[in-house]
Structure 1
Amino acid sequence: MKPEFENIPLVKNEEKKRFEIEYNGHFAFIDCKETSQQIALIHTESEPELAGTGAAAAVVEKTLFYIEESGKKLLPFCPYVFAFIRKHPEWKRIVDERFEGYDKI
Structure 2
Amino acid sequence: MKFVTTSLGRGAGVLVAQGMIWVVYGFVTSSLPGGKSDYESNAVQFLDPAFGKLTDTEVESTGAKPSAMSVFAYATAGKHIIIFGGEIWRDPKAH
Relative to its length, the structure with more strand (as a share) is 2
Q: Which has the higher contact order (CA 8 A, sep 6+)?
A: 2
| TM-score, normalisation: structure 1 | 0.29
> What TM-score do you get using the length of structure 2 for normalisation?
0.31
